[in-house]
Amino acid sequence: MRFLRAIFNFAAGEYENAKGQSLILENPVKRLSHTRAWYRVERSTGKSAALRDYFLLILFTGLRREEAAKSTWDHIDLKAKTVTIVDTKNHQAHVLPLSDFLYNLLLSRQQQSATNFVFPGDGKTGYIVEPRKAMEKVIKQSGVTFTLHDLRKTFITIAESLDIPAYALIRCVLLLMIFITLAAAILLLE
């Protein structure tokens, strides 16, 4: 609409009749501006929100990147507040409780979901594969260099140092305080 408004403004100043009057008496875009009738296209945040949530799930659960990426809604039980990881490294299903933070994150994702994957991607697999550009953006903005596996290792290290089983650490408030710097950087993806 800005482009159209500029064209009409140019035409109004450039073209006139034999009496020297502008051929364009009123810019129709001005009317749209006055009535606020322009259709505003909101910036798409779906992909960056999915990446942000993907990073946070790994950070707060210690899941492997593939385990988180391949998660489907069939494995998320929001009533029981659990996530089941079926395709684990040791081939045994693993059920994790969800903290209130992760519950709200997944609830929001499910309400906006159009696919069976919790973290959909554009490739053949249908899920997020390797979000290198998003990671580079977080690294640049936070100054913290990391890999997806580093998120898992950090989670495990904290769990071991506190003598808390990894599955119980999800509910630990201390975890939120420890990861606040990195989580804030991840939230910058919005």
pLDDT of the residue at 176: 40
Q: How many Å apart are CA 65 and CA 67, to the nearest integer?
A: 6
- Domains of the chain listed by start with CATH number: 2-34 (no CATH), 46-187 (1.10.443)
Residue 135's CB: how many other CB atoms inside 10 A?
A: 18
- Which regions in the chain score pLDDT beneath 70? 1-3, 31-46, 159, 162-190
pLDDT of the residue at 110: 94
Q: Vertex 57, ends 119 and 184: CA angle to 5°?
A: 110
pLDDT of the residue at 90: 78
User: DSSP code of 117?
Assistant: B
pLDDT digits (tens, 9 = 90+) for 97-115: 888 889 999 999 999 888 9
- Per DSSP, the residues of 61-114 read H---HHHHHT-BGGGEETTTTEEEE-S-TTS--EEEEPPHHHHHHHHHHHHH--
Helix then strand count (H, E) for the chain reads: 10, 3
Q: How many Å apart are CA 78 and CA 84, to the nearest integer?
A: 11
- The residues pairing with 77 across neighbouring beta strands, listed in sequence order, are 82
